[in-house]
Amino acid sequence: MSLMDDIKKQLGFFGGFTLTTRQLTRPRVTWSYPDVKKPKQPRQHGRHVLNRYEDGMEKCIGCELCAGVCPADCIHVRGLDNPPDHPVSPGERYGYIYEINYLRCIHCDLCVEACPTEAITESKLFEFSFTNRADAIYTKAELVVDDNGMPQKLPWEDWREGDDLMTSGWMRATSPAGDAAFEGEVAWSPELGYGTRAPEGGQSEHRDDEETGSKELRDVLERHLLTEDIPKAHRGMRGRVWRLRNSTAMHKKKLDAALARYKAKKATHE
């Protein structure tokens, strides 16, 4: 056996690292959940909100249609005549009692579909859990949006950036049956803090994804797409640099959050 053969034999075990080394340069398919979360789809069905009109009045008229349609029987609504001197909603009646039991809700959104005034819609928040039954039953006090039209945030809810925006994006999807005549047709009322929300892009016209919060499927699922379906800027060395930048920004954000938590904890002990 020559010296070269001997060296090759001695170093042969490096071959065992080929697969590992190859994986090092590939994009990871896992996420550090819950510190890092995948972007949520604009039509995500999450925790409900009760919307208000631009003048602050509540949209709910206490008709109980949402409660009637709910397959899990988890909504309890009672309507009451509006007090003439300080009406709560523009209609004759308003939702006096409104409760959703989240131990039962399956987030099917049938309540959202049934509602004639777009009073009940859903945010993107689905990461919330409870330690007692009382917390799981959300009342009007928790469900009605605040004075800026934003969902209220409870201590046990894990809200992330964007979860409270574009509540129930799918409500604004037009031409659901594929009829181009309904594309872009606004059939919903304005909302507190937002005005009249823009419709989702149709199938044949320009999509304003920025305005409506829509996401291309590739934005969410790129790591599962075929190479030819991935934008050139995200492939090869350029893609690695792009991913490195993204992950650096993500880790910096995580570090900043950890530092802020540490400082807050330190401050409470002083």
Cβ contact 119:59 at 8 Å? yes
Decide whether 90 or 162 has the Cβ nearer to ligand SF4. Answer: 90
Nearest to 102 by CA among 141, 77, 72, 66: 72
**Going by C-beta distance under 8 Å and a sequence separation of 6 or more, which residues neighbour residue 239?**
27, 230, 233
- Report the C-alpha gap between 31 and 144 in whole angstroms: 33
Decide whether 60 or 166 has the Cβ nearer to ligand SF4. Answer: 60
Decide whether 79 or 202 has the Cβ nearer to ligand SF4. Answer: 79
- 120: part of which helix (H) or strand (E)? strand 120-122
The minimum distance between CB 118 and ligand SF4, in angstroms, equals 8
Decide whether 100 or 166 has the Cβ nearer to ligand SF4. Answer: 100
Nearest to 30 by CA among 181, 164, 223: 223
**Going by C-beta distance under 8 Å and a sequence separation of 6 or more, which residues neighbour residue 243?**
27, 234
Decide whether 117 or 174 has the Cβ nearer to ligand SF4. Answer: 117
The minimum distance between CB 74 and ligand SF4, in angstroms, equals 5
The minimum distance between CB 148 and ligand SF4, in angstroms, equals 20
The minimum distance between CB 39 and ligand SF4, in angstroms, equals 22
Radius of gyration of the chain (CA): 25
Residues that bind ligand SF4 (CB under 6 A): 60-66, 70-72, 74-75, 77, 95, 100, 105-111, 114-115, 117, 119-120
Decide whether 144 or 173 has the Cβ nearer to ligand SF4. Answer: 144
- Report the C-alpha gap between 117 and 77 in whole angstroms: 15
The minimum distance between CB 110 and ligand SF4, in angstroms, equals 4
